């Protein structure tokens, strides 16, 4: 099993409850200018690298540092019943214990997505700038559509279904020309899905946490309010 997930950095220890114990993982700070990342493996069986190896760019050179116990990535066995004392915030983009976003599609969500009507159409305004607009604004308060969202569109002219990452979409906007910027230019068409900005979001108080991985560090990776990317996998055959 191998998964990829994004979350908003918290600047403090964070539990990434992906549903299994990974044999290997990589955590990347994808908005960080130094391109910091941590690589972890159960095969790193020395005390010097028990939490992985930390990589960071500096002055054009890649530097590395061994991550000893308690500094970066560790297996998390789950089974914690969340209270307000443990899960200190359930605000979107916050939280201590994060799990998969159960909503997944916000194009017709009047609470966290569209303002008045489901978002169903995409109009390309500038292919060169990869900008365009949709048929409705998003909500201003509680909005979960924005940078990091994935949008899937069926192009009217070609019939092809394409998916891009939202690079810019300010809360409360979307309907005016060129208010939305995508990672690639997609021709005008029908919107099929818009995800939230993050794959992993706070787990509700009262829930029991699944297994996953714990990130103890916040230097370079897991920086507050910067998008992080986790890749985690469990091998078919691996030593326990």
Residue of 164, 161, 162, 150 lying closest to 196 (CA atoms): 150
**Domain membership flag for residue 238:** no
Considering the domain architecture, whether residues 208 and 186 belong to the same structural domain is answered as: no
List pLDDT tens digits, range 174-222.
999 999 999 999 999 999 999 999 999 999 999 999 999 999 988 889 9
Residues 65 and 179 in one domain: no
Residues 22-57: tens digit of each pLDDT: 999 999 999 988 788 999 988 888 888 888 888 887
Residues 104 and 156: their CA atoms lie apart, in Å, by: 24
Q: pLDDT at residue 79 above 90?
A: yes
Q: 63 is in which domain, residue-wise?
A: 2-100+203-233
Helix (H, G, I), strand (E, B) or coil at 237: coil
Position 112 in a domain:
no
């Amino acid at each position: 099993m191998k998964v990829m997930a994004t979350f908003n950095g918290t600047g403090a220890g964070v539990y990434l409850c992906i549903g299994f114990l990974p044999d290997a993982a990589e955590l990347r700070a994808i908005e960080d200018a130094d391109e910091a990342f941590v690589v972890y493996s159960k095969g790193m069986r020395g005390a010097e690298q028990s939490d992985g190896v930390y990589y960071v760019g500096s002055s054009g050179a890649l530097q590395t540092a061994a991550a000893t116990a308690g500094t970066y990535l560790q297996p998390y066995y789950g089974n914690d019943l969340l209270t307000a004392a443990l899960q200190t915030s359930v605000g979107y983009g916050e939280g201590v214990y994060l799990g998969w976003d159960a909503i997944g599609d916000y194009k017709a969500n009047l609470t966290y997505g569209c303002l008045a009507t489901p978002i169903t159409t995409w109009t390309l305004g500038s292919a060169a700038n990869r900008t365009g607009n949709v048929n409705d604004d998003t909500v201003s308060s509680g909005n979960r559509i924005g940078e990091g969202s994935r949008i899937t569109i069926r192009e009217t002219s070609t019939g092809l279904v394409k998916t891009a990452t939202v690079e810019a979409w300010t809360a409360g906007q979307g309907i005016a020309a060129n208010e939305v910027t995508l990672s690639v230019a997609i021709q005008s068409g029908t919107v099929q899905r818009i995800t939230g900005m993050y794959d992993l979001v706070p787990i509700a108080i009262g829930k029991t946490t699944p297994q996953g991985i714990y990130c103890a560090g916040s230097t370079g990776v897991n920086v507050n309010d910067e998008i992080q990317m986790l890749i985690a996998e469990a091998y078919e055959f691996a030593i326990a």
